[in-house]
Amino acid sequence: MPKVTKNNIGNVKETKVSKGKPKAGKALSESLPDVNTRNGKSIVIKGARVNNLKNIDVEIPHNKLVVVTGLSGSGKTSLVFDTIYAEGQRRYIESLSSYARQFLERINKPDVDSITGLAPSMAIEVKTSSRNPRSTVGTATEIYDYLRLLFARAGKTYSPVSGKEVKRDTVEDILKFFTKIKPDTRVYIVFPIHLHESKSAKDEIETLKQKGYFRIFNGEELVDLNTKYDIKKIKLEKVKVLVDRFIYKKEDEELTQRISQSLEQAYSEGEGYLNIFIEISKDEPMEVHSFNLHFESDGIRFEQPEPLLFSFNNPIGACPRCQGFGETIDLDPDLIVPDKTKSIFQNAIHPFSTPKHSRHLSDLIAASKKYDIRIHIPFKDLSKEEVHMVYKGAGDYIGINKFFRMVEREAAYKIHYRVLLSRYRAYTTCAECEGSRLRKEALYVKFQKKNIFELVKSNIEELYKFFKEVKLSEHDRQVAQRILDEIKNRLKYLFEVGLGYITMNRLTSTLSGGESQRINLATSLGSSLVGSIYVLDEPSIGLHPRDNDRLIKILKSLRDIGNSVIVVEHDPEMITSSDYVIDIGPKAGEYGGEVIFSGTLNEIKKSTTSLTGKYLSGKLKIDTPAKRRKLNNHFITIRGASENNLKNIDVDFPLGMFVCVTGVSGSGKSTLISDILYGALKKRIDGIYNEKIGLYSELKGANLINAVELVDQTPIGRSPRSNPVTYLKIFDQIRDLYGSLPSAKAKGVSPGNFSFNIPGGRCETCEGSGVIKIAMQFMADIYLECDICKGKRYKNEILDIKYNNKSISDVLALSVTEALAFFKDFPKITAKLKVLDDVGLGYLRLGQSATTLSGGEAQRIKLAFHLSFQNSDEKTLFIFDEPTTGLHLYDIAKLLKSFNDLIEKGNSILVVEHNLEVIKCADHIIDLGPESGDKGGYVVAKGTPEEIVKNKDSYTGKFLSKVL
């Protein structure tokens, strides 16, 4: 490896910008097209050294869609996020006052000589959104805030008793009512008396006279209080006090003013209530019309709509029982009877299956004959009456409900009963608000005949269609049009980024990383910012090829309104749609970090040094298997899958082969595989699974495998001390090696002293971390190299013990590839290191912190773990959810080889995937769809890739035909 300087980056020279017309270049040594740094038309980076970047110089044109690609671990994220975005954020934060800065995240200055042409930067990353159980898609996108405002301003309240609209009767409303009265009609304006328990009828009458009211209606009889009257005949509850009487004349301004004043007076004295009596004739009873300012109907006083009434994060609007969560902790029938294919006699009722409580099962069996409870059929086939009896009890059998009431009493002071109770309790839908999270009063308010809960449980596509078709009255248009425009604008972008199947009330914690990123992208588009730099990390994650075009159009629209869009991406379609491509490499880790190519799409295809270019031009490709594995009649079968949008489907999963589950985003893939299949198998094989399992009726074939493993992209450890060699148990053998050295034995040093996690051989000043954290109030925290161990993590006496001139600290700094050569005489160590290298992680350092690993790297380390520790006698079903996330086509080829290695050992591979290069290599495909949300959930096609291509109903087949 040549020495790297600013002007000597491997074989790549520093970019020079010529004064004349730039030439089309094949590498960074040639001039960049359409870049003019003197006119500020590009971001110019000089001497970037973040992580593995090799002191690189690069120019990125403004107002272009730029794709940064390269192998996994080559340095793409280091350039885009850790250099460009980090510096943009740092400059913005440092422009604020010191008071404001203390409340913001502090960012270190990237290790770079200079960056010019930088604009305000925004990162849209692949991160799971907030874990806050109150955070929903609606609140995250601010659409719910606008909905609350819309319902408060344009919503109409309806009585749950009569279904009639509830209104406040203002003076203006009553004046409009008067226009319907026939001219020359006698009219009386009156108000009711509000009774006081401490006052007699005589006292009330005296009070009225003192206020100047001398006429009342006692029923329909007009009584003059200045004359003699029988006080005993006056029923105060029927009394209406006369404020004014007149002969109504139309278009009489003086009379209208008088009526208005009388109405105000009647409302004031009647505490918001008044009546209008209309005399039709002397012989007929008067018409009585009631009005009030209290927003009530059918004897119910309703809440006046305001935004907080519709907020589940505020006591004013939140359901009092669940406090706005929509769920309460209660007994979960699915935990009490986890396997409904078992009969009562086969211990279907889990709490009665333990020796301590088995007597209740005996009582149930004894009572079953008398009460006609069938105990030898699957629990799922029992009638409602039988299930009711099992829960309620019969004869000497106490029933499940009474049993748990007894447990609750005991749990008050016995911890083992609290533990027992916790096993069968789970979050269930709140019985009071039925999952709406809101008080019932909020649901009386409707907009276009729908309450707010009915809208938020609709998916984005349905909601967008609903609001596009809304027609408003002139009054509602004045108060709500701007709100509607904001809602439609945000819904439009969410729909266009392929999220039409997601509902507004979905928790953000349940979103995948790709879904979260696209929500952030849509929110950014809705804000219509210009002159900014948007950096995105693989926005195509989770997107079916059908939806990719829509995403690309969105990114181009961001560019077209005046933004620079920089995307870290491997997707060939995204790369071919870009304006400019930067390829980082040539390999990964310390063998990467160089700019291999920078230019246009046509130029990268001609490049002889770019791996990406070779794949794009077809010089390199992932070959379609010459022969596919045949079905062997060994299947795991799920019957009656009906969770979320699944349409009661039956699915056979072939074993001993590579199976891909495909379909458009939101078609039901993750629900079928992660929520149902994995949970059901885990429960059946291991006997315990604490997560909720999706709805299905039957599982068959679980006995054909010994284990099921979900290999996902969650971190291999949350502590910075976790690293690849500790996860794969390699460090134990390395410590044993160092502990067996003569120099170690001479000092009395054991293998345990070579651990940096426990006291003994580690440096106690930094506790084995190698750095000291210095907190700075208004600046980013500073991590200084430990003065005692100089970043080596260990005490000097431990570092003095060396094997082949390398201490234990030196070994942790080796890459996997270097360690393979270093430990060539120790096959137990190299066997596991070789697996890491085979899955494309040869560039990782042995001691690299788990917190610095990407999701794709974490997933491949887990894959390496299973390849290393796989028992040859065990047959395991490995489930992967989008394993190509973060992988270049070169890395995907290695991943596919690892899959084949696992299958050759007798295992089965099941992958949820959108990447066509992976799908074309599958032995069997199960395609769900045809659309997303309610329009999905069916098995559209199944078979080999060649068979899927022939299916006209399969979107996957249409795109797959292009790569086969």
What rounded mean pLDDT belongs to the chain? Answer: 88
User: Which of 55-64, 420-429, 854-863 has the highest mean predicted lDDT (pLDDT)?
Assistant: 55-64
Looking at the structure, tell me whether residues 541 and 607 fall in a common domain. Answer: yes
- The pLDDT, as a whole number, for residue 4 is 33
**Bridge partner list, 598:** 582
Using the predicted structure, report yes or no on whether residue 358 has a pLDDT greater than 80.
Answer: yes
Least confident of 345-354, 543-552, 767-776: 767-776
Beta pairing partners, 911 = 660, 880
pLDDT value of position 19: 32
Question: Are 423 and 485 found together in one domain?
Answer: no
Residue percentage of the chain with pLDDT more than 70: 93
Does residue 718 fall inside a structural domain? no
pLDDT, average across residues 891-895? 91
At 284-293, the pLDDT tens digits run: 889 999 998 8
Instruction: Answer yes or no: is pLDDT of 335 > 70.
Output: yes
- Domain boundary among the residues 509, 533, 554 is at 509
- Cα–Cα distance, 660 to 684 (Å, whole number): 23
- Answer yes or no: do 468 and 400 share one domain: no
φ, ψ for residue 388, nearest 5 deg: -60, -40
Judge whether 884 lies within some domain: no
Q: Is the pLDDT of residue 13 over 60?
A: no
Q: Which pair of tokens denotes residue 507?
A: 């928790």
Mean pLDDT for the stretch of residues 98-110: 73
* Token representation of residue 687: 């006997």
In this structure, is residue 730 part of a structural domain?
A: no
Mean pLDDT of 839-856: 84
Q: What is the CATH number of the domain that holds 265?
A: 3.30.190.20
Q: Which pLDDT score is estimated for 285?
A: 87
Q: Are residues 530 and 500 part of one domain?
A: no
Question: How would residue 296 be classed by pLDDT, with cut points 50, 70 and 90?
Answer: confident
Residues 517 and 611 occupy one common structural domain: yes
In a domain, 857, yes or no: no
pLDDT confidence tier of residue 240, bands split at 50, 70 and 90: very high
CATH of residue 444: 1.20.1580.10
pLDDT at residue 21 in the model: 34
Decide which of 448, 483, 509 is a domain's last residue.
509
pLDDT value, residue 1 = 34
539/493 same-domain check: no
Q: Is residue 387 located within the same domain as residue 467? A: no
Tens digits of residue pLDDT in 858-888: 888 999 998 888 776 789 999 998 899 888 9
| Per-residue pLDDT tens digits for 558-588 | 899 999 999 999 999 999 999 999 999 998 8
3-state helix, strand, coil in the chain (%, to 5): 40, 20, 45
Query: Where is pLDDT greater, at 497 or 307?
Result: 307
Number of structural domains in the chain: 5
Confidence of residue 782 (pLDDT cuts 50, 70, 90): low
Give the residue from 395, 429, 463 where a domain finishes: 429
| pLDDT given for residue 652 in this prediction | 97
Q: Judge whether 702 lies within some domain.
A: yes
* Mean pLDDT across 417-425: 85
Across 91-102, average pLDDT: 79
**Residue 127 to residue 885: CA distance in whole angstroms:** 13
Position 471 in a domain: yes
Residue 201 has what pLDDT? 80
> pLDDT band for position 422 (50/70/90)?
confident
Same domain, 150 and 172: no
pLDDT digits (tens, 9 = 90+) for 664-694: 988 999 999 999 999 999 988 987 787 778 8
Q: CATH number of the domain at 549, please.
A: 3.40.50.300
Whether residue 919 is predicted with pLDDT greater than 70 in this model: the reply is yes
Cα angle for residues 601, 921, 947 (degrees, 5° grid) = 110
Exposed (0-12), middle (13-18) or buried (19+): which is 70, by Cβ within 10 Å? Answer: buried
CA atoms of 590 and 205, how far apart (whole Å): 97
Q: Which residue has the higher pLDDT, 263 or 226?
A: 263
Q: Does residue 608 share a domain with residue 532?
A: yes
For residue 342, what are the β-bridge partners? none
Residue 588 is predicted with a pLDDT of 84
pLDDT of residue 429: 86
Helix axes 474-496, 143-154, angle to 10 degrees: 160
Give the tens place of pLDDT for each residue, 596-644. Answer: 999 999 999 999 999 999 999 999 999 999 999 999 989 999 999 999 8
Is the pLDDT confidence value at 524 over 80? no
Q: For residues 608 and 613, give the distance between their C-alpha atoms in angstroms, rounded to a whole number.
A: 8
256 and 184 in a common domain = yes
pLDDT band at 34 (very low <50, low <70, confident <90, very high): very low
Residues 566 and 649 in one domain: no
Q: What pLDDT is recorded for position 167?
A: 86
Helix (H) or strand (E) holding 326: none
Identify the pLDDT of residue 23.
Answer: 34
Strand 635-641 versus strand 564-568 pairing type: unpaired
Q: What is the arithmetic mean of pLDDT over 942-954? A: 96
Please provide the DSSP assignment of 684-732 as one string: HHHS---SPPPP-SEEE-GGG-SEEEEE-SS-S-SSTT--HHHHTTHHH
pLDDT value of residue 297 = 86
Domain co-membership, 206 together with 238: yes
Within a domain: residue 331? yes
Residue 219's pLDDT is what?
Answer: 85
Q: Quickly state the pLDDT bin for 780 (edges 50, 70, 90).
A: low
User: Rounded mean pLDDT of 502-507?
Assistant: 92
Q: What is the mean pLDDT of residues 400-422?
A: 87
Q: Does position 5 have pLDDT exceeding 50, yes or no? A: no
Domain extent for 391: 327-429
Q: Which residue from 88, 56, 53, 71 is spatially nearest to 614, judged by alpha carbons?
A: 71
Tell whether 258 is covered by a domain.
Answer: yes
Share of the chain above pLDDT 90, in %: 59
Residue 390 sits in a domain of what CATH number? 1.10.8.280
Region of residue 785 (left: phi > 0; alpha: psi -120 to 50; beta: else) = beta
d(CA 384, CA 635): 33
